[in-house]
Chain A
Amino acid sequence: MTVAQPQPEGLSPECETGNYHTFCPISCVAWLYQKIEDSFFLVTGTKTCGYFLQNAMGVMIFAEPRYAMAELEEGDISAKLNDYDELKRLCLQIKRDRNPSVIVWIGTCTTEIIKTDLEGLAPKLESELGIPIVVARANGLDYAFTQGEDTVLAAMAARCPDKAPVAETEKNERNAIQKLMNFGRQKEDVAQEESEYANHPPLVLFGSLPDPVVTNLTLELKKQGIKVSGWLPAKRYTELPVLEEGYYVAGVNPFLSRTATTLMRRRKCKLIGAPFPIGPDGTRAWIEKICSVFNIEPQGLDEREAQIWASMEDYLQIVRGKSVFFMGDNLLEVSLARFLIRCGMTCPEIGIPYMDKRYQDAELKLLEKTCHEMGVPLPRIVEKPDNYNQIQRIYDLKPDLVITGMAHANPLEARGINTKWSVEFTFAQMHGFTNARDILELVTRPLRRNNSLKDLGWDKLVKEDAKV
């Protein structure tokens, strides 16, 4: 990609000050420890990190989570205490109490600044302890929110086995998805079923999704004769997929650019650059792109997509013609905006923490195409937005819906502006055809709620500020 040309018609992200609200990337611990069932996440940081996790995770914290803080004290900062000994002591305790299959160390701002050599310490301690230690530097100096998962998966990518084990069949037995799909069938049937797949090079998908969504997308590809050889991450650390040179990989989320880079450069995999399977349009484009790489003629996608759109008609009636403003905090913004524009909305601004134009290339092209087809102006994409400026623009534009973080949601509602809390999109099941309706359920909720309140005259609930 060359230097961005000034194209009045094209999408060219602009960049603001980076004064915006988002979650710290260590929050990825919250969903990853649940996804990877035999893991333990140790966040090496300060009280600030702990306080954030404790409050952001809400009730999850009381469920004996498989995560903990290694809380740094003054002696650690001034190097009066030895990092290695301290980490060893804590990891031994974790091994004794929980016996995990992997300990993931999450580096934070503090370990960056005091330059704790986590990557250097891990291999030594790993051999002493006999438990793999994966290091991910998911800190607020470098990353925003969901990018935390990206750093963890990029580190995990290095741990995927590079040769298929000899006892291939046995491995398959343990694989949860396989097991589910083969449920109650004889070995011969399974073998026969193998032939239902087209002959294509192995495909591994990356991105952490709830298990039902994993099953759903896997089956969706199976309908096209495409076999998913594995997922990064799997349900267990011990089930990480095999990655041999020349395997194909495809991302399911827009914030996984480091993982994609690692898979291409370090594991010599081939990346299928596709739009992300968010919304029926995205899911279809995602499948089509994978099919085209494998020279497979996709079957029945037209009807499938049309059927999903038809089933969402009640929600579509609510959103059609409305405008949506993304303040930007989780990197899902481009995909969501593309889907909502296809739903008939307009979108004046997409705020986004970080824009990897190469990894998101196909998604950006689909956004552009969608805008042309729907006859709406291209959104302005603002990287590293400035929340203060954005709020001024929101006051000017008066969008029908603002998708934003919780810091701004209540104040905007009090000023008569509909909001949807952006973090919910991170935790909702919204990938694939089946879950498209759930996205609209979220998007329309404030509109439906405020519709039922609209005759009460309770729109503006703050006294008018004097404009200086």
Chain B
Amino acid sequence: MKLAYWMYAGPAHIGTLRIASSFKNVHAIMHAPLGDDYFNVMRSMLERERDYTPVTASVVDRNVLARGSQEKVVDNIVRKDREEHPDLILLTPTCTSSILQEDLHNFVERAQLDSKGDVMLADVNHYRFNELQAADRTLQQVVHFYIEKAKKKGDIPSGKTEKPSVNIIGISTLGFHHHHDCTELKRLMVDLGIEINEVIPEGASVNNLKNLPRAWFNLVPYRELGLMAAKYLEEEFGTPCVDITPMGVVETARCIRKIQQVINAQGADVDYSEYIDNQTLYVSQAAWFSRSIDCQNLTGKKAVVFGDNTHAAAMTKILAREMGIHVVCAGTYCKYDGDWFKEQVSEYCDEVLISEDNGQIADMIARIEPSAIFGTQMERHVGKRLDIPCGVIASPIHIQNFPIGYKPFLGYEGTNQITDLIYNSFTLGMEDHLLEIFGGHDTKEVITKGISAGSDLNWTREAQIELNKVPGFVRGKVKRNTEKFARERGLNEISLEVMYAAKESVGA
């Protein structure tokens, strides 16, 4: 047992449901007790979905415990097949059904006999995988299922498309800014003269999966979702996979160069260097921003990054490499893929934290006291408590992270959005500077919120007055550092001298 208050990645079935409800005309039936269909609420609220979420539960109740599901699951599948005519019904196990150990495979086979659509079982163990791993597996499983089916029917279109083309793999419902990213990637492909073969799973029809092999290559923008499917297609059809996330100026260029290499190897003759230069120098504003004096003020400021592998790694590189910001700690909650993360970010930050424990992450932030945090909603709230600004860069997210306006994180427009996010998160450079010079906006009695609370040390009148002159947003930090300094030396009164000594020693 583990004492847990918060989790970064959801349970396995959420991943499976994200895949199922991303496809068009696919219905998921959860083998679950009453109340486990909370996914529908999330999708309806966060995505503001106009349509009913195609997920129902085959309810596990006392009768099921006593007698087994018997006909119930089969009946529910067949009923849904009749009511909605889905192309595919995906039977989804949950934590409850994992321990009931009913033969769900058997139910699927029996239901298939009476269903017009296809029926399959999501092969995901609740206790071994989390949401992200399950989503990756389920997508691979669905792709595999339809490729095999088409093979049997001799239905696979032969050969590649005439012009270079791509499958974009991994765009999914409830993904962080996935819809905007998808639009941006499509635009990028148009710019590069590459046709979109298929986008999966979002908005795709399972009947089109047999066309996947026609693409010249697969683009997997997110580390967490789509790699398994792409690997499978590579093994099966030799379709190469580009798995560089085009997030940030440098990485976007790297991704495009890789695409160039991959399609030239198949007989295309393209050179994207001019396009990359043009975009980098004149279209995207990010490179220019890095050079501008605004960004100069951010130099060496301390930041902390935490999120999923894709976004935390890309963000760390952007901050360190493209803006000269000092990333003290970069972290991820994707423990199962921690080595990859370490390898990606080690040279861009002082320390790497791989953890699913939000308490540990909050402690790290409190210890480092960065000028800005880039994390999930949890880190945003930690930031609120500590009075440190936070830009949200990864799930878990709230409804405000599903903006209606166009806000991609990927591609060249993505670099612009990220620049805004970073710049707005740090206290504006010049404002910061001026505040420090003039001692805050309010030159009369500064309100000393939180100064006296929880302190066992005595501040002399002079020291207190001096402390009040420190601008509000760093005052807490100065106070904490001074007190730490005093405590370490066994001083119980803080005078002006102690304050200055502390400042000299720790830079408080």
**Which residues of chain A have a CB within 8 Å of any CB of chain B?**
18-26, 44, 46-48, 50-52, 54-56, 58, 61-62, 65, 68-74, 76-77, 81, 86-87, 89-90, 93-94, 109-110, 112-114, 139-145, 388, 391, 405-411, 414, 461-462, 468
Contacts and interface: CB of A to CB of B under 8 A. Distances in A.
Nearest to A413: B50
Contacts of A86: 1
A47 B10 contact: yes
Interface string B326-354: 00000000000000000000000000000
Contacts of B34: 18, 20, 22, 24, 140-141, 143-144
19 contacts: A18-B61, A21-B40, A48-B13, A56-B41, A68-B5, A69-B2, A73-B1, A77-B127, A86-B1, A109-B96, A113-B99, A114-B99, A141-B61, A141-B62, A388-B56, A405-B41, A406-B41, A407-B40, A410-B49
B257 interface: no
Nearest to B62: A141
Contact of B52 (A55, A112, A114, A411): A411
A19 B11 contact: no
Interface in B355-410: 378, 381, 384, 396, 398
A55 B61 CA distance: 23
Contacts of A142: 61-62
Nearest to B94: A48
A24 B36 contact: yes
B35 A69 contact: no
Contact of A407 (B41, B128, B384): B41
Given A77-B99, A140-B36, A406-B45, A51 B7 contact: yes
B7 A47 contact: yes
Contacts of B48: 410
A162 to B, nearest CB: 32
Contacts of A90: 1, 3
A462 B7 contact: no
Instruction: List the 10 closest A-B pairs by CB distance, nearest first.
Output: A24-B35, A140-B33, A407-B40, A414-B50, A47-B11, A62-B381, A46-B95, A140-B35, A86-B1, A74-B127
Contacts of B128: 74
B53 interface: yes
A180 to B, nearest CB: 28
Contact of B44 (A55, A114, A410): A410
Contacts of B60: 109, 141
Contacts of B14: 51
A342 B11 CA distance: 45
B231 interface: no
B95 A56 contact: no
Given A113-B96, A411-B44, A73 B35 contact: no
Given A76-B1, A113-B100, A141 B44 contact: no
A47 B384 CA distance: 26
Nearest to B13: A48
B131 to A, nearest CB: 8
Contacts of B384: 62
A241 B223 CA distance: 56
Most buried by B among A23, A55, A109, A462: A109
Interface centre among A20, A51, A90 (most CB of B within 10 A): A51
A144 B35 contact: yes
B288 interface: no
Most chain A beta-carbon contacts within 10 A, residue among B34, B53, B60, B396? B34
B50 A461 contact: yes
Nearest to B378: A62
B95 A48 contact: yes
Contact of A70 (B2, B53, B85): B2
B99 A73 contact: no
Contacts of A407: 37, 40-41, 44, 52-53
Contacts of A68: 3-5
Contacts of B76: 19
Contacts of A391: 52
Contacts of B65: 112-113, 141
B274 interface: no
Interface centre among A93, A144, A406, A409 (most CB of B within 10 A): A406
Given A51-B14, A142-B61, A110 B50 contact: no
Contacts of B62: 141-142
Interface centre among A20, A69, A410 (most CB of B within 10 A): A410
Contacts of A52: 35-36, 38
B290 to A, nearest CB: 34
B33 A141 contact: yes
Nearest to A462: B50
B38 A56 contact: yes
Interface in B34-72: 34-38, 40-42, 44-45, 48-53, 56-57, 59-62, 65
A33 to B, nearest CB: 12
Contacts of A24: 33-36, 38
B473 interface: no
A146 B38 CA distance: 16
A55 B378 CA distance: 12
A426 to B, nearest CB: 14
Contacts of A56: 38, 41
Nearest to B53: A407
Contacts of A58: 398
A46 B3 contact: no
Interface in B1-27: 1-7, 10-11, 13-14
Contacts of B57: 19
Nearest to A353: B34
Contacts of A23: 35, 38
Contacts of B56: 19, 388
Contact of B36 (A18, A48, A74): A48
Nearest to A94: B3
A18 B130 CA distance: 29
Contacts of A110: 95-96, 99
B269 interface: no
Contacts of A462: 50-51
B2 A410 contact: no
B41 A468 contact: no
B4 A69 contact: yes
B306 to A, nearest CB: 15
Q: Name which of B33, B59, B381 has the most chain A CB atoms within 10 A of its CB.
A: B33
A51 B396 CA distance: 11
Contact of B11 (A51, A70, A405): A51
B3 A19 contact: no
B42 A55 contact: yes
A134 B34 CA distance: 24
Contacts of A76: 1
Contacts of A65: 5
Nearest to A63: B381
Contacts of B99: 77, 110, 113-114
Nearest to B64: A141
B411 to A, nearest CB: 29
A114 B381 CA distance: 36
Interface in B66-114: 76, 83, 85, 94-96, 99-100
B35 A25 contact: yes
B126 interface: yes
Contact of A55 (B4, B38, B94, B130): B38
A447 B110 CA distance: 47
A288 to B, nearest CB: 36
B375 to A, nearest CB: 13
B135 to A, nearest CB: 14
Nearest to B127: A74
